[in-house]
Structure 1
Amino acid sequence: MASLKIKFRPSTLEGKEGILYYQIIHQRVIRQVTTNFKLFIDEWNSKSEDIKVDYLNINRKDYLDSIQYKILNDKRRFETIVQRLAIQNGIFSVDDIVERFRNQSVNSSLFIFMENLIALYKKHGQHRTSETYLSTLNSIKRFRNGKDIELIDIDNELIISYEHYLKTEGVQHNTISFYMHRLRAVYNKAVDQELIEQKYPFKQIKIGIEKTIKRAIPIKYIKRLKALELKEFSSKDLARDIFLFSFYTRGMSFIDIAYLQKSDLKNGILSYRRKKTGQKLYIKWESCMELIANKYSSKDSSPFIFSILDNTKGDIRKQCHNTLTLINRNLKIIGKEIGLEIPLTMYVARHSWATTARSEGVPVSIISEGMGHANEKTTQIYLASLDNKVIDNANRKIIKLI
């Protein structure tokens, strides 16, 4: 049967730390796997081949405790690897064990595994997905006070504790479900990669989304917003104008507004591809849209319609996020000024357009296509040959209301 022993290699220099390494033995063949665990010679018990528990230096206690914890996890990983090889292959070599052991050691902790996963999504251009996992990782780090945990130690008790922590922090149900859904996906990826064994730690957690009230406001508040006197080019003025532009363009999302390029506007038609779904939409360019676009037009050398993003100033996605945060902050202030009881955000513009359109008798099918609801498959098939002029006329009808 395969076995794993811990060995210590002292430093050749006096007073320097030595290295711990594993000796893996199977079928009388011995291999060595070096670790990054460093010890002074007086911290190693050569007789029991273990770290000394009676620490002479109290300042090293936490460090040595962490090494013991990692060694314990490595032993458990080793046993799991051997068991799986025995089940899957029957006959296996010591090199098979070492290969899997080394591969797993790179991603054995939750933080490192998630960080590698986030980097992979970024590399493949899946920035939004990487951001959702980063948000989840940051939440877990707060829960753990920055202390990493081995993937093998994720169990039902930990997940229940994490859920309790989120609730006591006042995190809303849907946000808790968001974090749990991402964490479960991470756990399942680790299982698929055979880093850990499936133990179903989420079985007692209800991961579901509650229905939320749509953030739509009546047209009278849109009128108040438009008529509000604000200092020109102030942060509040920008927030109000971008909100109105979103409303005018059938609830275009902020990220799509920010990424609009001058080349997207041709012959009085604005065409763009939604970042969220990849669907291509076409909007008739109206005078109210042009007034706002001209007001915040970007410099000649910039490809963007609005001067929200600047290719010369670093991370564009970060610029977009920071500007959206500022706009939403100002919209909430403006919302109170016009008598709104709900928080005014860019999200509200999209739902307000849909609600207003429906109240004006615009068929749901036209609203669906106008907003680019690509996930409504039945509706999209039914509307496949719908003339875009119908949507433009509906949009003009809504714009005239204000």
Structure 2
Amino acid sequence: MATICAKVLKHHLKNDGTYNVKIRITHKKEKRYIDTEHFVTARQLTKALEIKDAFINRLVNLKIDEYRLAISSISEKLDFFDADGIRDFLLKNNKEIDFIEFCDSHIQQLKESKRGGTAANHTTVRNSLVDYFGRERVLITEITASMLKSFEKFLRSPRTISRENQFKRVVTTESGGITDAGLYNYMRDLRTLFNEARELYNDEDLGIIRIVHYPFNKYKVGSPPATRNRNLSVKQVIKISEFNTKKNSRTELARDMFMLSFYLCGINAVDLYNVSEINIKKERLEYNRSKTEGRRKDEAFISVKIVEEAVPLIKKYIGKLQLRYSTSRGFDGALSKGMKTLQILTGIPEVTYYWARHSFATCARNDCRISKDDIAVALNHVDIGHRTTDIYIAKDWKIVDDVQIQVLSLLRNYRR
């Protein structure tokens, strides 16, 4: 059984003539110490260095009682702990969990694991929480079901948002409130962050439950709203490709990137930003899809033929986007603004960069009558139903080439 008592150590005398009162933990014949906020002088101690000051004794005993109560909560599991483990448990158990601090640490881990897209989404949720509370410190106990309902109203309401851009300058924008789909994504990602915090701080095996409550039992995130069509007709794709715009403008960037994505089987913006000349091998672009790289055994690798239409755009942009934009988020921001302008100037009712991927897939299926399985390969999707079968089948990039050439042949025929 672990024992706890207050202790003053003779050799810890400070220059100002005071001693720090420590709490000693003894377990399995090992001793470990926890510093307290209390200091005493020789006048407050006996010759045996025992505290004789009644006020200090009362305060220290309150903390000791708190620690004893915490240890009793894991009494059945004490054999699994050494003295260091008990000390760490008491220190962590005594500290309130700052959810924003946790989010920052978790987001950094995502970035280091090359999950930049997920990190960006979680950063958006983290920043919105700071906006909602009006402070950088938010205790996890403040994330409750009633708070989530209030947070939902906050997200739906018009508000002013201030964020640092890639040049570390604060940029202020007006938000009209998020859509149903946006709300689902926010609350889903917040639930993911909360679950990750529980995974880190709770240890059911040892009976350590630092996060007791779970607001998502009462507040339901629900199902994602039905995804609307995000595809353009072949004529609309051609209209974008042939649209003349100002050189070196965001609109030019948006047009070129949209078409490059269409030519390269719907490549994501973050992957266009990350690839360089190293990824070009024998007239093919070979890369790992950032969105799913860390979650797939094949590291989401794909090889796409650099078709004739893509060659000038590859030379113009690949390896140079990182010189123009310091982060993929900065690139995304410029791309988004350029697409909005392109939408207005072309008269296309609605379009974003991601529509290039949807349009490529829709043309492949509805116009070229290509099988969904082959389209999935070209889009670099993992087939959940055939995951075991895929282990036995070698990758054949001719499938991707066939899908790509049929879609581009359709585009070429429309231009004639």
Task: Provide the TM-score with structure 1 as the length reference.
Answer: 0.72
Deviation at 1:244, TM superposition (A): 0.7
Distance 1:184 1:112 in 2: 15
**Is the 2:114–2:290 contact (alpha carbons within 8 Å) kept by the matching residues of 1?**
no
Where does the alignment leave 5 or more consecutive residues of structure 1 unmatched?
Answer: 40-45, 53-71, 298-304
Deviation at 1:119, TM superposition (A): 3.6
Return closer, same or farther for 1:75/1:225 CA change in 2, 3 Å cut-off: farther
Structure 2 residue 86 is matched with structure 1 residue 86: no
Distance 1:80 1:128 in 2: 43
Distance 1:180 1:202 in 2: 7
Return closer, same or farther for 1:398/1:191 CA change in 2, 3 Å cut-off: farther
Return closer, same or farther for 1:213/1:20 CA change in 2, 3 Å cut-off: farther
Deviation at 1:245, TM superposition (A): 0.6
Distance 2:56 2:139 in 1: 24
Distance 1:228 1:4 in 2: 78
Return closer, same or farther for 1:327/1:112 CA change in 2, 3 Å cut-off: closer
The answer for the alignment partner of 1:243 in structure 2 is 258
Structure 2 residue 236 is matched with structure 1 residue 229: no
Distance 2:148 2:65 in 1: 24
Distance 2:278 2:102 in 1: 41
Describe how 1:362-377 pairs up with structure 2 within 5 A.
Answer: 362-377=370-385
Return closer, same or farther for 1:173/1:125 CA change in 2, 3 Å cut-off: closer
Q: Which stretch shifts more, 209-218 or 373-382?
A: 373-382
Structure 2 residue 305 is matched with structure 1 residue 284: yes
**Is the 1:184–1:202 contact (alpha carbons within 8 Å) kept by the matching residues of 2?**
no
Distance 1:265 1:161 in 2: 50
Q: Write the deviation string for residues 143-197 of structure 1: whole angstroms up to 9, x where unpaired.
A: 332153444x356xx2431342233321423322222222232233221383615
Q: Secondary structure in 2 aligned to 1:89?
A: helix
The answer for the alignment partner of 1:141 in structure 2 is 130
Return closer, same or farther for 1:334/1:391 CA change in 2, 3 Å cut-off: same
**Is the 1:268–1:285 contact (alpha carbons within 8 Å) kept by the matching residues of 2?**
yes
Structure 2 residue 99 is matched with structure 1 residue 110: yes
1:206 to 220, 235, 252: 220
Deviation at 1:20, TM superposition (A): 8.4
Deviation at 1:331, TM superposition (A): 0.3
**Is the 2:376–2:383 contact (alpha carbons within 8 Å) kept by the matching residues of 1?**
no
Distance 1:142 1:75 in 2: 38
Deviation at 1:236, TM superposition (A): 1.0
AA in 1 matched with 2:221? I
AA in 1 matched with 2:218? Q
The answer for the alignment partner of 1:325 in structure 2 is 333
Distance 1:168 1:123 in 2: 31
**Is the 2:111–2:119 contact (alpha carbons within 8 Å) kept by the matching residues of 1?**
yes
Task: Provide the TM-score with structure 2 as the length reference.
Answer: 0.70
Distance 1:75 1:348 in 2: 62
**Is the 1:118–1:133 contact (alpha carbons within 8 Å) kept by the matching residues of 2?**
yes
Distance 1:347 1:19 in 2: 64
The answer for the alignment partner of 2:354 in structure 1 is 347
The answer for the alignment partner of 1:260 in structure 2 is 275
**Is the 1:143–1:162 contact (alpha carbons within 8 Å) kept by the matching residues of 2?**
no
Q: Secondary structure in 2 aligned to 1:212?
A: coil
Return closer, same or farther for 1:75/1:378 CA change in 2, 3 Å cut-off: farther
The answer for the alignment partner of 2:35 in structure 1 is 34
* Pairs aligned (count): 357
Higher relative contact order (CA 8 A, sep 6+): 2
Q: Which stretch shifts more, 213-222 or 78-87?
A: 78-87
Q: Secondary structure in 1 aligned to 2:216?
A: coil
Describe how 1:121-136 pairs up with structure 2 within 5 A.
Answer: 121-136=110-125
Deviation at 1:349, TM superposition (A): 0.9
**Is the 1:264–1:272 contact (alpha carbons within 8 Å) kept by the matching residues of 2?**
yes
Q: Secondary structure in 1 aligned to 2:67?
A: helix
Q: Write the deviation string for residues 312-368 of structure 1: whole angstroms up to 9, x where unpaired.
A: x9xx8x5222012111111012112222333x2211111111112222122222211
AA in 2 matched with 1:307? K
Where does the alignment leave 5 or more consecutive residues of structure 2 unmatched?
Answer: 40-52, 157-177, 293-298
AA in 1 matched with 2:310? M
Distance 2:382 2:99 in 1: 35
